[in-house]
Amino acid sequence: MLNNINNSSHSWLWFVARHYSRIRPPKPVPVESVIRVSNNVARLGSRKEGPKPRQLLSLPPFPGHPLPGRNSNESFQDGQQHDGYVTAVNWIKYYFKGILGSVIESHFREGLVQMEDPISDNNLSQNEEPRRPLRKIRPNEVMKQGARIHIPVSIAEARISKRYDAIPSGTLYPNADEIKYLQRLVIYKACLASNDLAIMVLNKPPKLPVKGNLPVHNSMDALAAAALSYDYDEGPKLVHRLDRETSGIILFGRKEESVSHLQWLFSNINNAKSSSKVWNDACESTYQRYWALVIGTPKEKEGVICAPLRKVLLDDGKTERVVLAHHSSMEPRQEAVTEYRVLGPKINGCSWVELRPLTYRKHQLRVHCAEALGTPIVGDYKYGWFVHSRWKQMPRVDVEPTTGKPYKMRRPEGLDVQKGSVLSKVPLLHLHCRELVLPNIAKFLRVFNKSSEELPRSLSAEPDVLRFVATMPSHMKISWNLMSSYLV
């Protein structure tokens, strides 16, 4: 009987081993076959994979009603007037100012717009992390304060011109073509009742210096004085500055009074305040937002950088550099604060980040990105040379966060990626001042001149703050379009 038990156990082990051996492998998972027809020939094949998830762009939390730069009684782009609330489609049209409404509405029709509802702190325990699932929404969805909208990055795709606009030559007397070129950069002009020009907003191109000196003639201030005087004796004056390689919104003032008030805003907001409560509220709502493409991804999706800065001289004694100041150091330093928010996922080793400086120091955003976050801006060789030298040689395999599959990059046909984009050998600086909100200085100057704390009824209908949005330069548009071409 013992022999029978041993024989039965050996046979059972042999059966198990045989079942999982190479001689008898497990049965493959059945895949449903479909009939494919190509060139009038029918073949039996497997089903195609479904559409891959699109890359989503995260909008900032909804600030509430009314939106900055828009009166509460002002109608939206849909021609309707909403009392006390803002719909999802109008919030997206407000944020992506300049994008056709038909493009935004098509994303709603295809069900590509999703919302992340705000969660109150009362519903969370101390150790519980907030998890807010995304849900599809309709265009007439009423926005709640703190809610976030996620939309595919393809909504911000833009056409790329086949050639660059020629930057004016180094002369203080530009010709007719250069004058037209500079006038096309003007986004906004605000005039007073006497037709005196109060402010002027321009979309500065990259590689054009703002302030000129003896060896630099083709600067923004010199060219604006020659081409944007508009029959005045003197040209407009700069209110704030941008780096030579940085593009985006730059502000000019015509009258000394408007320039001084606006310069106080960019230096110290407390100096710009007055006895007028409406003016003080408008000053508090002033902000700038930059879009930047950085190498890598910040560890936190959003946060505040509080890192003071100081200036040092390099070994040659001439080159100046801005670095982070240590708290233990006795050298003079300047307080610098920047809010940041990651716009989307990591693509090709890079991430799009939205920056909002709360102080205005020289090279503040570039140093904070490179040294505080450890993610230098693409094209910033001054503060990120070491990372750039290794970045092009590092093997990068970006994984889609939903499916875990690697991204496959598709270069759009007919697109020249060598125009300073992220795929070129030497990319240009990817830092752009996209949005600016500031007080309506043309409105408040009349109040200051009359020395009255209350606004007249004729002026109360005008907005207290103005909002401007500038389109990205060509090299950043190419990088954005390349990012949105990963998943199609």
- pLDDT, tens only, 165-194: 555 555 556 677 777 788 888 888 765 544
- The answer as to whether 35 is a domain residue is no
Indicate whether 295 and 414 sit together in one domain.
Answer: yes
Indicate whether 480 and 341 sit together in one domain.
Answer: yes
Report how many domains make up the chain. Answer: 3
- The answer as to whether 36 is a domain residue is no
Indicate whether 381 and 262 sit together in one domain.
Answer: no
63 lies in which domain range?
Answer: 54-67+85-118+132-162
Nearest one of 288, 71, 264 to 201, comparing CA atoms: 288
- The answer as to whether 396 is a domain residue is yes
Q: Average pLDDT of the chain? A: 75
**What is the tens place of the pLDDT at every residue in 236-280?**
888 888 888 999 999 888 777 778 778 877 776 666 666 677 778
Indicate whether 242 and 149 sit together in one domain.
Answer: no
Indicate whether 226 and 136 sit together in one domain.
Answer: no
- The answer as to whether 45 is a domain residue is no
Instruction: Kindly state the helix (H) or strand (E) to which residue 471 belongs, with its residue range.
Output: none
**What is the tens place of the pLDDT at every residue in 108-143?**
998 889 999 887 655 555 555 555 688 899 999 999
Residue 487's pLDDT is 42
- The answer as to whether 438 is a domain residue is no
The reported pTM is 0.80
Residue 21's pLDDT is 47
288 token code pair: 């700038």
Residue 369's pLDDT is 94
Is residue 222 predicted with pLDDT exceeding 50?
Answer: yes
Indicate whether 268 and 308 sit together in one domain.
Answer: no
- The answer as to whether 1 is a domain residue is no
CA 44, CA 407: separation in Å to the nearest integer? 28
Catalogue the long-range contacts made by 93-97 (C-beta closer than 8 Å, 24 or more residues apart): 94/67, 94/70, 95/59, 95/60, 96/155, 96/156, 97/467, 97/469
Residue 15's pLDDT is 47
Ranked by mean pLDDT, the top range of 159-163, 220-224, 458-462 is 220-224
281: annotated active-site residue? no
Indicate whether 182 and 320 sit together in one domain.
Answer: no
Indicate whether 415 and 305 sit together in one domain.
Answer: yes
**What is the tens place of the pLDDT at every residue in 389-428?**
777 655 555 666 556 666 655 555 555 555 788 878 888 9
Residue 194's pLDDT is 44
Indicate whether 383 and 238 sit together in one domain.
Answer: no
Residue 332's pLDDT is 81
Higher pLDDT, 356 or 213: 356
> Which of these is catalytic: 221, 243, 380, 464?
243
Using an 8 Å Cβ cutoff, are 396 and 390 in contact?
Answer: no
Residue 488's pLDDT is 34
Nearest one of 12, 285, 9, 343 to 150, comparing CA atoms: 343
